[in-house]
Amino acid sequence: MKRIYIIASISVFMFLLISCNTLEDNIDSDNSISSIEKHEQKEVNYLYFYDNESRELTLYFPLDLNGFNIKKGVLLQENEIVNENISINISDTMDNKVSITIHEYTPGFNRIKFDLESGETLNLHTGQFYFEKWKYPTYNLSKEDEWHIYEMHSVHEGNMIKGNVTFRKGSNSILHALLPTKAKDVGVEINLEKTKEEENIVSFDYVINLPYAYLYQNEIKNMTFNLIWVQEELESKQTRFLLNEYIPIDIE
């Protein structure tokens, strides 16, 4: 049984998206453009893109990108440009990583093309990223009605993740766990069960089933997905954002 670590943030969310499997998978040692462009990242990411917000990503590649002097970039799905409204954060571009900011929503991409100061271009495979728009719910619940995360943990067992989450509860509410649609389409699913409820505490066990057959069939080595928790107050039917988890899975 191995533990899987979950990165979560409650207010402002920037997730480090790691798109690097092995550092020398069919890559020549000369660091040439043609050599680096041959590499294909065997990973898929199912993520939320928050409405009216930019999205920061850190992309990892199999070789050192120092010396290429990146000027600007665009996102592509295969060979079609899907988003030109991105910024390259030059100060965070070092070794084998590049930090970018996506300024407008795009459904997905799997390549990034850089324009270099030399006049050449560098077209790299990033792994497949899928984004789904999500808007923070508005609510006017009192502080006394709000739920707050008390503790949570999870373990990776075979083809599933088993976990428990406990809240300091306010008003009577329903807990919802939201997965991106494309993640559900390939077989990611979550089941929730309330296991404990006291005056100020409520706990849930959950099981996330992972689509290993799909991942093996498509030779995917890494998968990541977001999981959003929201509170629905029973009387008013208002919903309140609680937590966004970023869950990385390495396929052995």
Residue pLDDT tens, the chain, 252 long:
444 444 444 333 344 444 444 334 434 445 567 777 888 889 999 999 998 889 999 898 877 777 788 899 999 999 999 999 999 986 666 678 889 999 999 999 999 999 999 999 999 999 999 999 999 888 888 888 899 999 999 999 989 999 999 999 888 899 999 999 999 999 999 999 999 999 899 999 999 999 999 999 999 999 999 999 999 999 889 999 999 999 999 986
Q: Tens of pLDDT along 209-231?
A: 999 999 999 999 999 999 999 99
Who's near 109: CB < 8 A, 6+ residues apart? Answer: 75, 76, 77, 82, 83, 126, 129
Distance CA(160)–CA(150), nearest Å, equals 23
Q: Which two tokens stand for residue 18?
A: 């790691």
The pLDDT, as a whole number, for residue 63 is 74
Query: What is 143-250's CATH number?
Result: 2.60.40
Q: What is the full DSSP assignment across 6-66? A: -EEESSS--------S-TTSS--TT--HHHHHT----EEEEEEEETT--EEEEEE-SS--T
- Give me the pLDDT at residue 33, please: 73
Residue 113 to residue 130: CA distance in whole angstroms: 18
Alpha carbons 129 and 214: distance in angstroms, whole number: 16
pLDDT, residue 74, reads: 97
Cα–Cα dist 48/50, whole Å: 6
Using an 8 Å Cβ cutoff, are 41 and 20 in contact?
yes
Q: For all residues of the chain together, what is the average pLDDT?
A: 85
Residue found by looking up tokens 């799997």 in the block: 110
Decide whether 2-134 matches 143-250 in CATH topology: yes
Kindly indicate whether the domain formed by 2-134 is annotated with CATH number 3.30.450: no
Q: Where are the domains of the chain?
A: 2-134, 143-250
- How far apart, in whole angstroms, are the C-alpha atoms of residue 110 and residue 113? 10
| Burial environment of residue 35 by CB neighbours within 10 A (0 to 12, 13 to 18, 19 or more) | middle
